[in-house]
Structure 1
Amino acid sequence: MPKKLKLEHSEFSGEFEDGGITVLVDIFRPAGTNNDWQMEVVTEQDDVTSWEEPFATDKDAWEEFLATCEKDGIRSFLEGEETQVH
């Protein structure tokens, strides 16, 4: 059985609420590494949006999330299917 990879979660990870919609922002990388950060946004309906390109810092990932909310609105994460962002 493969060993489960331990992840380090950014301090920017957590629930984010706007306009009555709550999503979970998960910014993570393998624990004990200096690897780039990955980001996923999960809605209450378990819709998942994943960014294909990693981020150099967890703050860069958080700022990208905020910019996406500003540009497209938090409802843009309510797609009903798994989405990947470039």
Structure 2
Amino acid sequence: MSKKTKLEHSELSGEFTEDGITVLVDISRPAGTQNDWKLEVITQNEDLFEWDEPFATDREAFDEFLATVARDGIGSFLEEDDIPTTH
């Protein structure tokens, strides 16, 4: 059986809410290393979005997340059926 790698999670990780949509931003790397950081976004429906390329710093990873939200909107992480509508 293989041991699961322990991860160090950035202080920048956590829930992010905009326009009534909340996602979990997870920025991590193997614990005890100086490896690059991995960026993942997890929706309330447990859909997972992973960036292919790692980031040199956790700040760069979080800034990329913010840039994606600014460019594409937070709804870009959701399936069309999951986007809240207002009436």
Paired residue for 2:6? Answer: 6
Structure 1 vs Structure 2 CA RMSD: 1.0
Paired residue for 1:18? Answer: 18
**Displacement, 1:4?**
1.1
Matches within 5 A, 1:4-83: 4-79=4-79
Output one character per residue of 1:4-59: Cα deviation in whole Å (capped at 9) or x when no partner. 10000000000000010000000000000000000000000111110000000000
- In 1, the alpha carbon distance for the partners of 2:79 and 2:25 equals 16
Q: TM-score scaled by structure 2?
A: 0.89
List runs of 5+ in structure 1 lacking aligned partners: 81-86
Structure with greater strand percent: 1
SS in 2 for 1:27: strand
**Displacement, 1:79?**
3.6
Runs of 4+ deviating beyond 6 Å: none
